[in-house]
Structure 1
Amino acid sequence: MKINAEVHGGNKIAQKLKQIQDRLTAKRRVLVGLPAGSGNYEDGAPLVVIGAVQEFGSANGLIPERSFLRVPLRQNQDNIKKGFRALSGKVARGEITAFQMLDQIGARAAGYCQEAISAGIEPANAPSTIARKGSATPLIDTGALRQAITHVVED
């Protein structure tokens, strides 16, 4: 049995493939953390400065490293990749834009960081810190740092 096939619309197919390629290869990235202008604590200390000291520890060693960004993102790397794979198919089909995909992934990633703070970041607070703030949970005093964690999609 012999089968004959014809393909019509070669230019339209090429254009559609180019659109899909452009959607998937757009030069965008998502940033997760504390952007400039995140605000200040009641005492005037910028949240980004407090966040940097907590994330990396103080230079003098008095404040230990409590990674609320790098560690939770590494721990959830597989979940982030799964989300990316699922959403990139929607981008290829034109159901969402690359910006929308990165926005959704960024929101999930910021949520992982916020959840990590709520669950408690090691090391534990010193007894003097617990007495001063009335809580044993590291990085939670007013909740301002946790609430300021967000994401930004950049071109």
Structure 2
Amino acid sequence: MTIKITKDRVPDILRAIKDLTSKEVLVGIPDTDAGRDEGAISNAEIGYLMETGSPAQNIPERPHLVPGVESAREKIEKRLKAGAQAALSGKASDVDATLTAVGITAENAVKAKITDGPFTPLSPKTLAKRRARGRTGEKPLIDTGQYRRAITHVVRKKGD
């Protein structure tokens, strides 16, 4: 006589799938923690200003958030596929790990885009202001490093 023990894993699978689909990963600079050591403008505001530009302030667009994340699309898709497979196996604990890995991947891609560019060069006026403050760097988006360090990710429930 053969005894077969079957465990119903459907509830685990449904819970893991629900967990995966009810969360989102956000990459950028959270406005609640976007302060700077100096100046009146926050890192989140700088990010928006650099991403979209400001003709009124003679600031060209220097897109880096969206293109940075886009540059990591293939890696992100692979991680999400692995997370979905884990969810289909009922491994709810792997869902958060997957979403965190996606966030870190996207965050690092944005930071790499800031470092590598290419961007519209800084104006001579901006470069002169930097030199007057003792700065020698000429890369757009990189002066003190505060902005790049502020790039982060969060995993949260959708709608929060």
Same fold, TM exceeding 0.5? yes
1:39 corresponds to 2:29: no
1:132 corresponds to 2:125: no
Question: What SS class does the counterpart of residue 109 from structure 2 fall into?
Answer: helix
Q: Which amino acid is the alignment partner of residue 26 of structure 2?
A: L
Report the Cα distance in structure 1 between the residues aligned to 2:57 and 2:153, rounded to whole angstroms. 29
1:104 corresponds to 2:106: no
CA apart distance, 1:24: 2.1
Unmatched tracts of structure 1, length 5 or more: none
Aligned with residue 74 of structure 1, among 62, 70, 75: 70
CA apart distance, 1:87: 3.4
Report the Cα distance in structure 1 between the residues aligned to 2:24 and 2:72, rounded to whole angstroms. 18
- Is the Cα contact below 8 Å between 1:67 and 1:121 reproduced in 2? no
How many aligned residue pairs are there?
A: 147
Question: What SS class does the counterpart of residue 155 from structure 2 fall into?
Answer: strand
* Largest Rg, 1 or 2: 1
Pairwise CA RMSD of aligned residues? Answer: 2.2
Report the Cα distance in structure 2 between the residues aligned to 1:120 and 1:7, rounded to whole angstroms. 60
1:56-106: CA deviations, max 9, x gaps? 111526111111210111122112101212333344442733222111110
Report the Cα distance in structure 1 between the residues aligned to 2:35 and 2:118, rounded to whole angstroms. 22
**Percent identity at matched positions?**
29
Report the Cα distance in structure 2 between the residues aligned to 1:25 and 1:19, rounded to whole angstroms. 10
Question: What SS class does the counterpart of residue 93 from structure 2 fall into?
Answer: coil
- Is the Cα contact below 8 Å between 2:16 and 2:92 reproduced in 1? no
Unmatched tracts of structure 2, length 5 or more: 131-135
